[in-house]
Amino acid sequence: MKPAAFSYHAPKTVDEALALLAEFAPDDGRVLAGGQSLVPTMAFRLARPHHLIDINGIAALNRLGVENGKLVIGAGVRHQAFRRPVADGPLGTLLSAVMRHIAHYPIRTRGTFCGSIAHADPASEWCLVAATLGAEMVARSARANRVIAAKDYFLGIMATALEPDELLAEVRLPLLPAGTCTGFYEFNRRAGDFAMGMALVTFEIAGGVMAAPRVGVGGAETHPRRIAAAEALLVGRPPGLEAFKGAGAAAAAAIDPLTDAQTNAEYRRDLVATVTRRALEQAADARL
């Protein structure tokens, strides 16, 4: 099938893009970033936007660098930009490892980090990163600019706090302190498929025990999130299988898993215990 007819706009500045969004968002005007999610849904006529506002020609959106202790990722930055660490320390290495799980090479050369965050597929790796590490989403519109914390941003399956006339101009990720242990584990049936379940974890080691743990789960519920019950079981304990199994079981018990065409809720709950434990083991192993 071919997409339904639409008008195409190619702004060269952020202000032009915001003016176009203000004018056309009420008439189903949408941002076109990498097009790797939007264009297929248009081809199947699941989406029929009347206007596409193509942000690929806006050079100011290609920012990628560290400012004030945060990695700033502009709306033009592609998945593939993370193939090598883009920041010193554990964050750059973690992003590089996670990126390899997203789709396939041609998709990674077009799709954008911010496009994934705007699209908010429950199984998006970048959404799990944003939710677990406490990202800030910078939303701009002709009305105002605002910063949305990750905990207030993800609302459900492909549902976010972004308004239709808002451009997700950049995402800011806090740098991880030197020595932070990180792990990411994803399960799918074929390489490049969307995750059926995945976990991202970080913790520090102080005096031989775990401190400041973060346990995030994605691909299992309507949106990725941190699991406080799992984190509580790690604080103050030495890293090891017993603690990791307990955290995995707590994560599995805490979630409200999805049933979809890939698998059912019971399987996903079981899977979350495993991916959480394996992500924690990976974090501990990387330290050795």
Would you call 14 exposed, middle or buried from its count of C-beta atoms within 10 A (0-12, 13-18, 19+)?
middle
Between 77 and 87, whose beta carbon lies closer to ligand FAD? 77
CA distance 236 to 207: 9
Q: Cα 250 to chain center, whole Å?
A: 23
Least distance CB 248 / ligand FAD (angstroms): 23
Least distance CB 117 / ligand FAD (angstroms): 8
Between 113 and 244, whose beta carbon lies closer to ligand FAD? 113
Residue nearest to ligand FAD according to CB distances in the complex:
111
The residues facing 159 across adjacent strands are 156
Q: Which tokens is 60 given? A: 């100011």
Between 24 and 244, whose beta carbon lies closer to ligand FAD? 24
Least distance CB 35 / ligand FAD (angstroms): 4
Percent helix, strand, coil in the chain, to 5, is 35, 25, 40
Least distance CB 182 / ligand FAD (angstroms): 18
Between 81 and 102, whose beta carbon lies closer to ligand FAD? 102
Helices (H) and strands (E) in the chain, counts: 10, 14
Least distance CB 112 / ligand FAD (angstroms): 3
Q: Which tokens is 134 given? A: 């406490």
Which residues here bind ligand FAD, judged by CB under 6 A? Answer: 30-38, 40, 75, 102-103, 107, 111-112, 114-116, 118-119, 121, 124-126, 167-168, 194
On whether the CB atoms of residues 111 and 36 are closer than 8 A, the answer is: yes
Between 82 and 194, whose beta carbon lies closer to ligand FAD? 194
Between 124 and 282, whose beta carbon lies closer to ligand FAD? 124
Least distance CB 113 / ligand FAD (angstroms): 8
CA distance 113 to 97: 14
Please name the helix (run of DSSP H) or strand (run of DSSP E) that holds residue 287, with its range, or none. Answer: helix 265-287
3-state SS class at 110: helix
